[in-house]
Structure 1
Amino acid sequence: MKLGSIACAAALLLAACTTTAPELEPIPGSITYGGQPRTKLTKAPVGSIVPHQFFTQGGLARETYVIQPDRSLKLIRRHIDYDFITRHSRR
């Protein structure tokens, strides 16, 4: 009985947790900057990952998108390597 009440309390605590991170906003150079692209990705399955990289102010931005059920792109990850240009200009 005690174990059941502990499990129930743990389940309630976990249900109260929210792990939603704030949405990433597109920056100049992002695929979705200025809105969704006009062309839809009709052949790629829903949930497919779309990588994208571009140069931004002082670094190389690497973004990851996922294709949504309505065929729009959702930006889920971005990493900007600010040392990319300095590391590769020494060669």
Structure 2
Amino acid sequence: MKHAFAALSVVLLLSGCTATTGPDISYGYSPNMQPIPGSITYGGQPRTKLKKAPVGSIVPHQFIDSYGRKVYETYIIEPDRSLRLTSRRWAPDFLGFDD
């Protein structure tokens, strides 16, 4: 009985360790990555279409976020000429101001 209770306790503790949905602050790729203020696609797709760039082209973008950190994003041009956000990373903060 003690072993069954211990096993059940471990299972319950580990079940709380599952991933949750929420704001995407991951580095790199995430299938549900959402644009943040400063992203090209924040507030919708850009009004101008990228007509000369081939489909599948990579579009890099960098900006400073609301916390003063440099953000690097990568987009890919889709067949309908829209942009798909594929990766995001922040420049490391060597001064220790970043949480």
Establish whether residue 73 from structure 1 lines up as the match of residue 80 from structure 2.
Answer: no
Cα shift readout 1:25-63 (whole Å, capped 9, x = no counterpart): 000000000000000000000000000000011310000
Alignment size in residue pairs = 66
Structure 2 counterpart SS, 1:26 = coil
Superposition deviation, residue 22 in structure 1: 2.8
Q: Does 1:28 find its partner at 2:30?
A: no
Shift in Å, 1:82: 4.4
Query: What is the aligned partner in structure 2 of residue 51 from structure 1?
Result: 60
Q: Which of structures 1 and 2 has the larger relative contact order (alpha carbons within 8 angstroms, sep 6+)?
A: 2
User: How far apart are the structure 1 equivalents of 2:87 and 2:81?
Assistant: 18
Q: Root-mean-square deviation (CA), in Å?
A: 1.7
- By percentage of residues, which structure has more strand? 1
Tell me, yes or no, if the aligned pair for 1:26 and 1:75 is still in contact at 8 Å: yes
Instruction: Please report the TM-score for the alignment, with normalisation by the length of structure 1.
Output: 0.67
In structure 2, the gaps of 5 or more residues are 1-29
In terms of fraction of residues, the more helix-rich structure is: 1
Do the aligned partners of 1:40 and 1:71 also contact (CA within 8 Å) in 2? yes
